[in-house]
Amino acid sequence: MAFVIGLTGSIGSGKSTVAHYFSELGVPVIDADSIAKELCCSGHQVFAKIVERFGNSILEQNGEIDRKKLRKIIFTDTTEKTWLEDILHPLIIEEILNRIRNLSADYCVIVVPLLFETSMKNYINRVLVVDVNEEEQIHRAHLRDKENKNDIKAILSKQLSREEKVKLADDVILNDAGFEELEKKVTDLHQFYVKLARRIVGNSSK
């Protein structure tokens, strides 16, 4: 199985951009959020359970789940957050592991926003945290998602702090400069990860 890099960071830190740069380098990237979206689409058993739990008011006009409404509910109600995580997380992890098994690359990147808060961390060989100051996080998330800044702060308050994530990380990208500098940091890490993965996988096969 491929060497697994867990990519994480708080909302607005730049995880998606970093993941894109890894993908541009030919690295397989698996996004936990994308899998969660697939699982919550109409026709899936998770979709039915969510609608049964929260009613049709959780739906958009097209009949799909309004993710912003759902996110607001679970980040203001711990019971509902736990209920949804108990349903989704095992299915997400199962799908991620299935995809990893089918890879032939030296290493892959798994994008998991709540990596440290879930059991997915048990399947990661090395953790990369994308970090940026909180003021910039809130600003970026506000521009991207059009969310109320207080709502973004509420989400951040429910997650591990930046300081805690950095302490738990093997590698950290400080995303405080432009895109060119960020891309260079990713390229440098890519070269390091290729060598590391080949060394570790080579030793384990002896």
Total-model pTM: 0.88
Share of the chain above pLDDT 90, in %: 62
Mean pLDDT of 35-49: 91
What does the domain layout of the chain look like in residue ranges?
Answer: 3-40+89-195
- Three-state DSSP class for 126? strand
Tell me: domain 3-40+89-195, CATH 3.40.50.1100, correct? no
Q: Is 138 exposed, middle or buried (0-12, 13-18, 19+ CB in 10 A)?
A: buried
Place of tokens 């940091």: 185
- pLDDT tens for 63-100 read 999 988 898 888 888 899 899 999 999 999 999 999 99
- pLDDT tens for 172-195 read 999 988 899 999 999 999 999 999
User: Per-residue confidence at 205, pLDDT binned at 50, 70, 90?
Assistant: very low
Neighbours of 14 (CB within 10 A): 22
